[in-house]
Amino acid sequence: MTVNPKFTDLRSKPDVSIDMTPVRKSNWKTGGARDYWDPKIRKFRFNIPIEYLAEVLADSDHPQDVAVIRIGENRLMELAGALGDKDLSFNQISNEDSSKTSIFTQYPNPVDVGGMNKQNIAIGINGTVIDEFIEAITTDPQTEEAYRTAAEYIGMPDCCTDFHVDNALALRGDPVYDIACNTPSAEIHEDDRENVLIRHPDPFLNIFWRYNGWRLIHHLPCSFECEESGEIARRNYDAISDVCGHKHEAEHLLAWLDQPMEWTGYHSLVNMRNAYGIGSYTTDNYWSKKNIVWKKPHQDKPDFEPNHLTTPLEPLDPDRGAF
């Protein structure tokens, strides 16, 4: 169905902005939620991304040749070892305004695996490709030609590249409201165009939780039902599950991404919540309140036995889950 997006005039005025230091704050709603989910999907925040990105980039049939990873200096030897085993290369993206040069380095799009004194690193199939990618994303000002070059290296389908060109040139790194409105099963929620309900999203394309590392694609899709992006996400899932041997973790990550949730953005801060967790993060400058409902309005936390904070927690509706 899609929704005609609604924006204020301020969105198109680059001289009017809100600059914030990136924020990432999240909590489990209960001890039981933490004890059930955290051990199952924690590794996607630190360990698994390095391993499976190496597999993805080394696969000559995969469309992605480059990825941007944010990593601490203390983990560079670990990264070098993982990439060296696959004959892959990496290079640091200049720290000088590197967070503002491109949609691909704009928070929260790099794969952040933590560490001390973090920096943005481009990893890829060889040094030449990496250098060409870095040159494209550090063009100042960013041009459409440079953006399209970088998008091709990152493996974005043409439909997604075309859809996000304006966002890329305006350095809008988190245009999820745009994506929601462009989704076929999207509809106006509660008679408000800025409140969008997506009835049948593809859980493989849930990029809302990428702030925490919980995602299966590394580009911005043109919709949450994009078939080409869905195919890439499924290839990534197979790499995690079958090639890297993290089947258990992959199943639970997909189950998490399939949970009903809500996203609310206002000014440059976003709040997200599902039945198990909440989070506040930096987002684009939304000059009016935007709300996105993923499948159905987010549910209240399940009941727990009093004083038993570590009660195991099962998925809300296993029959509808992604196991």
Domain boundaries, the chain: 9-320
Residue 157: Cβ within 10 Å count: 20
Residue 99: predicted pLDDT: 53
Residue 307: predicted pLDDT: 36
User: For residue 7, what pLDDT band results from cuts at 50, 70 and 90?
Assistant: confident
Percent over 70 (pLDDT), the chain: 88
The model's pTM = 0.89
> What does the alpha-carbon distance between residue 182 and residue 223 come to, in Å, rounded to a whole number?
5
Res. 100: pLDDT tops 90: no
Res. 300: pLDDT tops 80: no
Average pLDDT over residues 301-317: 41
Res. 296: pLDDT tops 70: yes
Average pLDDT over residues 175-189: 97
Res. 65: pLDDT tops 80: yes
User: For residue 32, what pLDDT band results from cuts at 50, 70 and 90?
Assistant: confident
User: For residue 312, what pLDDT band results from cuts at 50, 70 and 90?
Assistant: very low
User: For residue 158, what pLDDT band results from cuts at 50, 70 and 90?
Assistant: very high
Average pLDDT over residues 178-194: 95
Q: How many helices (H) and strands (E) does the chain have?
A: 10, 9
User: For residue 23, what pLDDT band results from cuts at 50, 70 and 90?
Assistant: confident
Residue 21: predicted pLDDT: 77
Rg (CA), the chain: 19
Residue 299: predicted pLDDT: 59
Asked whether 245 and 269 are in contact (CB, 8 A), the reply is no
Mean pLDDT of the chain: 88
| Residue 183: half-sphere exposure toward Cβ, Cα within 13 Å | 32
Res. 308: pLDDT tops 80: no
Q: Are strands 111-114 and 66-71 parallel, antiparallel or unpaired?
A: parallel
Res. 139: pLDDT tops 90: no
Q: What sections of the chain are H helices per DSSP?
A: 31-41, 43-46, 48-58, 76-84, 127-137, 144-154, 158-169, 176-181, 227-238, 247-257
Percent over 90 (pLDDT), the chain: 70
| Residue 3: half-sphere exposure toward Cβ, Cα within 13 Å | 28
Per DSSP, the three-state class of 214 is coil
